[in-house]
Amino acid sequence: MWTIYLGLTGLAAANPQVVGLGNYTGALEDPRFLTSLWLTVLYVGGSAIIGQAGLGFTLAGILRTRTGPVRRLVEGVVLLSWIPPSTVVGFLWFALLDRDEGTLNALLHTPGFAWLLDHPLLSIIIFDVWRGTAFSMMLYAAALENVPPAHLETARLADAGVLQQPRDVVFPASAATS
């Protein structure tokens, strides 16, 4: 409620004046706001929806049927991205993407290429996906443990494809147990 009140009043803190929807219409007409809104949609779509949720669910689904050292290795590598503090991870990514001394430029033989300056949104999305996939994978793995294997086997016998199994079996079974 407080945010709505602030949006409907002017900027004067001592004597706020009600300006109605003027602040909102002004924001919608401002090209900088529309640009920031578009960048936010790209970031959330690329990082949270496609990246973290998609990759986390895919990894959890693939690892669900695996056992032994391969599963433990993949889980360990994915979880290693989540364990270090954010400041350490930020420094590591900066060292990887640095223009002059960056590891990625050394590997690709592209000295002077400024990944963070030339492709900032893509760099941040990749960093965020790398950092957040572990948590998504753990959540989806826990949810997938509640899906009875017999349901998936029945779907396979009914010729349900790779995309139909999550839609018709996994998601309804996960929703029913939550």
User: Could you give phi then psi for residue 139, rounded to 5 degrees?
Assistant: -65, -45
The CATH number of the domain covering residues in 44-145:
1.10.3720.10
State how far the Cα of 113 lies from the Cα of 99, in Å rounded to an integer: 5
| HSE toward the beta carbon, residue 14, CA cutoff 13 A | 0
Hey, what long-range contacts does 4-10 have (CB within 8 A, 24 or more apart)? none
Is residue 177 over pLDDT 60?
no
Buried-exposed string 75-98: b where 16+ CB fall within 10 A, e elsewhere: beebeebeeeeeeebeeebeebbb
The pLDDT score that the predictor gives to residue 27 is: 86
The pLDDT score that the predictor gives to residue 16 is: 78
Query: Which residues, other chains included, contact 52 with Cβ-Cβ below 8 Å and sequence gap of 6+?
Result: 128, 129, 132, 133, 135, 136
What is the overall mean pLDDT for the chain?
84
Per-residue pLDDT band for 167 (boundaries 50, 70, 90) equals: confident
Q: Could you report the per-residue pLDDT of 7-35, keeping only the tens digit for each? A: 888 766 677 788 888 888 888 899 999 99
The pLDDT score that the predictor gives to residue 175 is: 63
Domain ranges of the chain: 44-145
Which has the closest alpha carbon to 154: 139, 175, 173, 140? 173
The pLDDT score that the predictor gives to residue 91 is: 87
Which structure tokens are listed for 57?
A: 């669910």
User: Could you give phi then psi for residue 56, rounded to 5 degrees?
Assistant: -60, -45
Q: Could you report the per-residue pLDDT of 149-163, keeping only the tens digit for each? A: 787 778 878 887 777
Per-residue pLDDT band for 42 (boundaries 50, 70, 90) equals: very high
Write down the residue that tokens 């004597």 correspond to: 15
Q: Could you report the per-residue pLDDT of 94-138, keeping only the tens digit for each? A: 888 888 778 888 888 887 788 878 888 998 899 899 889 999 999
